[in-house]
């Protein structure tokens, strides 16, 4: 069983990085193999809508998305963390998600990520800063891949995992991450 966690923040050591690593550390206690990826500094082109990926599931760009394609293909659990930017996912996360159109290339072929477990983490500077709308962005992406979207579960059970402000000291936020990971453990580990 493998989990990949991706941070969509430009900050290598910021709140999103901390939160995604924290989520992976919970799974590691249950012997899940983990891979952490930061989009910071990665060379990822915008999707140009050329639809060449329809033909053979290969993108015309040979860039760092190849690392991500491989990680997502080989994982049963996918955790996407984004900072809240203007109430939405970061541009880095959106660009990465757009390039994942390759996994659902045409109606005749299968959805490659179908059935995998997906979780979102949104890190905003403020409480009510747009964490829920950011999670909606992530959840919509996961649903379009026909993945199983997991929320933060018992005992809070709201929109998913959210951080407000400084991640390491946001005890309630970290609990939403823990609860979400325990939901995953209950399902598959
Ligand atoms: C361009 C930009 C837009 C932002 N927009 C929001 C926002 O709408 N709501 C919010 O709560 N925080 C907003 N923030 C603050 C970040 O979400 C917050 O500082 C977050 O913890 C950053 O994550 P990081 O440390 O992983 O980079 C914004 C920050 C930037 C740079």
Q: Where are the domains of the chain?
A: 2-188
- pTM for this model (two decimals): 0.98
Pocket residues for ligand 1 (CB within 6 Å)?
9, 11, 14-17, 83-87, 123-126, 129-130
The residue nearest atom 29 of ligand 1, judged by CA position, is: 85
- Residue range 53-103, pLDDT digits in tens: 988 889 999 999 999 999 999 999 999 999 999 999 999 999 999 999 999
The rounded Å distance from CA 1 to ligand 1 centre is 32
Q: What is the pLDDT at residue 29?
A: 98
Record: fold of 2-188: Rossmann fold (3.40.50)
**Residue 139 phi, psi (nearest 5):** -65, -40
The rounded Å distance from CA 17 to ligand 1 centre is 13
Cβ distance 111 to 62 under 8 Å?
Answer: no
pLDDT at 108 over 80: no
Across 161-181, average pLDDT: 98
Give the number of the atom of ligand 1 that is nearest the alpha carbon of residue 167.
Answer: 21
Which is more confidently placed, 109 or 82? 82
């Amino acid at each position: 069983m493998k989990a990949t966690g991706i941070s969509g923040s430009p900050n290598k050591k910021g709140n999103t990085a901390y939160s995604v690593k924290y989520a992976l550390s919970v799974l590691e206690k249950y012997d899940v193999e983990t891979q952490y990826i930061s989009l910071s500094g990665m060379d990822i082109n915008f999707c140009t809508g050329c639809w060449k990926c329809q033909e053979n599931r290969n993108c015309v760009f040979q860039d760092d998305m190849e690392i991500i394609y491989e990680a997502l293909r080989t994982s049963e659990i996918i955790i996407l963390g984004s900072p809240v930017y203007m109430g939405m996912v970061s541009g880095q996360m959106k660009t990465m998600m757009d390039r994942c159109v390759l996994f659902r290339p045409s109606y005749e072929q299968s959805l490659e990520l179908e059935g995998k477990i997906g979780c979102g983490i949104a890190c905003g500077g403020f409480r009510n800063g747009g964490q829920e709308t950011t999670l909606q962005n992530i959840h919509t992406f996961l649903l379009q891949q026909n993945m199983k979207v997991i929320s933060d579960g018992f005992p809070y059970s709201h929109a998913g995992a959210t951080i407000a402000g400084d991640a390491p000291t946001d005890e309630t936020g970290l609990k939403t991450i823990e609860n979400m990971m325990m939901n995953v453990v209950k399902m598959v580990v």
